[in-house]
Amino acid sequence: MTHQTTWVHVSTGGHISIRTMLRSLSLTVCLVLLTAGPGGSQTPDEPLTLLSSEGRRPLPTVAFDGRRMIDLRELAAPFGLTIAEDRQPGRLTVLAGDQVIVLTADQGLVSVTGRLVSLPFPPVERSGVWYVPIDFIGRVLALVHDRTVELRRRSGLVVLGDIRVPQVVARYQRIGPQSRLRLMITPATDHVIEQATGRLVITFEADALDLVLPDIAPDHLVTGLRGVDTRPALTIDLGDAFGTYTSRSEPAMGGGVELVIDLQPTSATSTRVVPPPALTAPTPVDAAADADLPTLSALAPPRTIRTIAIDPGHGGDDTGTRGPNGTLEKDITLAVARRLRNRIESQLGIRVVLTRNADTTVALDERAAIANNNRADLFISLHANASVRASATGAEVFYLSLAEYDEEARDASGFTGQSVPVVGGGSRTIDIVPWELAQLAYVDQSARWAWTVADELSLRVPMSPRGLQQAPFRVLVGANMPAVLVEMGFISNPDQEAQLTSTTFQNAIVSGLLRSIIRYRDEAARGVPPPGPATIAPPDGSSVTPG
């Protein structure tokens, strides 16, 4: 293919080609874009709040194409930083006492006294002003400051120094005519509940609060939840039908405590008050009762769940993953499965079937077959996760992905009936369900079941950033009932490997699963519509560390 060059006359008397002009124009555009620098458009963002013994102050932030950043000069005074004057192009030196921080534009690595620290995205320099990701506070300043520095992204707080700022995560549930407010308080903090006209006020012995409050629709008992600006307190605004309340506390993971407040309307009869247990470590006895679980007799109606199948992942020659210190996944899953079986049978009176009760090998399809043959109403497969990143942590909950089903199977409205002979002559028509399509009929229910499990676990153990997911796990494919797979934590993480073997952590997993069963059953019986697309926010890992 030949190209014809067109020439144009210019005023200087010379001639240049159109191709040369286009090449020059492209180069000019590239230079303009490079001169603009990284980060794109800059817009104001919601400020962070710095909490210290001196009080609170805002830390303004900006967004560069959705990336939340902060002007480095805003950090200089509160964190004692000195920005060097003799700057090199694209390079900045910052002093924190006798420690040296070196930033380089367009690079996500920061040198901290010779040690490289990664940031989620590079710093941005605009007209001599440097902006750093807000993670710079927790990842870099925490290394060089002589006081504790903690960034809590979820609530937009920066905690400086040894001040008491417990995290309080609230969950609100409507249970028939009553309601329940559950507060996960980490670390455990003394508090007082006071009733005033139209409200309950919970005051904490703290310097400030890290509140994570849900958006709730006002009802006849509670019209809203809000913090108090002048002191570390939470206000529960009460509805016109509110009559009385009871409260109790129980220990939780990471040195926390769960405060449960049950609210009854004026017409409600008196209810049994459970005395709060001492704030000590959970008992290692498998059948230990949760303080906020109803008694066995109260759980009799409705009997919508009669049998639960628990699948301890792996077993026998299939050891599963192995932790850095030699812990085997198959041992963890069996230990938790036994604890969960004992708690379900003793506290809920529901029959439990284990797909294995010893260190034996069970095929994947056989596990679902055991559940099907025992007419299980729910299926839970327990596992421990692994990653090439040793820092990976947190629980994850899965339900089956439809990606493996073809369009014809997804669009099928039902299964084909087949005539079979019966004793004494004649025949009857039964539905024949292909094995690989068994779970297809339950995907929506499994999604609701998985959402409930992930939501309950998130109150008790750390969740990974991907707390709820879909995946084409073979063990779920043949289950003829709502089915989920729970990765309880990353056994490849040395710290979490130790947690997975601890009684406290295993009991926390069991409590979350136990309450998810009650909640799933009760909400389904009352016809509560399922939640929308589920996104489970994990607890703030900066403040919740299980022991």
pLDDT in tens, 289-323: 444 444 443 333 344 799 999 999 999 999 999 99
Sign of CA dihedral 429, 434, 435, 438: negative
**In sequence order, what DSSP letters do the residues of 76-116 get, joined into one string?**
HHHHTEEE-SSPBTTEEEEEETTEEEEEETT-SEEEETTEE
Distance from C-alpha of 262 to C-alpha of 191, rounded to nearest angstrom: 17
Within this chain, do residues 325 and 458 fall inside the same structural domain, yes or no? yes
Checking if the pLDDT of 3 tops 60, the result is: no
Residue with the larger pLDDT of the pair 408 and 467:
467
Distance from C-alpha of 520 to C-alpha of 30, rounded to nearest angstrom: 57
Pull the structure tokens for residue 465.
């950033």
> Residue 511 domain-assigned?
yes
> Residue 213 domain-assigned?
yes
Residue-level length of the chain: 547
The percent of residues above 90 in pLDDT, for the chain, comes to 46
Distance from C-alpha of 42 to C-alpha of 67, rounded to nearest angstrom: 9
pLDDT mean across residues, the chain: 78
> Residue 364 domain-assigned?
yes
Nearest to 457 by CA among 399, 535, 512: 512
Within this chain, do residues 216 and 324 fall inside the same structural domain, yes or no? no
Distance from C-alpha of 426 to C-alpha of 433, rounded to nearest angstrom: 22
Within this chain, do residues 156 and 186 fall inside the same structural domain, yes or no? no
Residue type, position 350, single letter: I
Within this chain, do residues 318 and 467 fall inside the same structural domain, yes or no? yes
Residue type, position 226, single letter: R
Distance from C-alpha of 471 to C-alpha of 397, rounded to nearest angstrom: 10
Within this chain, do residues 151 and 192 fall inside the same structural domain, yes or no? no
- Please state the domain count of the chain: 3
CATH number of the domain where residue 259 is located: 2.60.40.3500
pLDDT of residue 291: 42
CATH number of the domain where residue 334 is located: 3.40.630.40
User: What does the pLDDT look like over 20-78, one tens digit per residue?
Assistant: 444 444 444 443 333 344 445 678 778 999 999 888 899 999 998 888 999 999 999 99
Checking if the pLDDT of 18 tops 80, the result is: no
> Residue 543 domain-assigned?
no
For the entire predicted model, the pTM comes to 0.49
pLDDT of residue 287: 37
Within this chain, do residues 180 and 154 fall inside the same structural domain, yes or no? no
- What does DSSP assign to residue 536? P
Rounded mean pLDDT, 525-533: 61
Pull the structure tokens for residue 191.
């508090």
Distance from C-alpha of 471 to C-alpha of 185, rounded to nearest angstrom: 33
Checking if the pLDDT of 457 tops 70, the result is: yes
Within this chain, do residues 325 and 448 fall inside the same structural domain, yes or no? yes
User: What does the pLDDT look like over 119-141, one tens digit per residue?
Assistant: 888 999 988 899 999 999 999 99
Within this chain, do residues 315 and 385 fall inside the same structural domain, yes or no? yes
Checking if the pLDDT of 421 tops 80, the result is: no
Nearest to 453 by CA among 514, 544, 382: 514
pLDDT of residue 267: 66
**Contact (Cβ atoms closer than 8 angstroms) between residue 209 and residue 225:** no
Pull the structure tokens for residue 361.
């090998």
Residue with the larger pLDDT of the pair 7 and 128:
128
Nearest to 184 by CA among 522, 486, 477, 543: 543
Within this chain, do residues 136 and 207 fall inside the same structural domain, yes or no? no
Which domain does 203 fall in, by range?
167-265
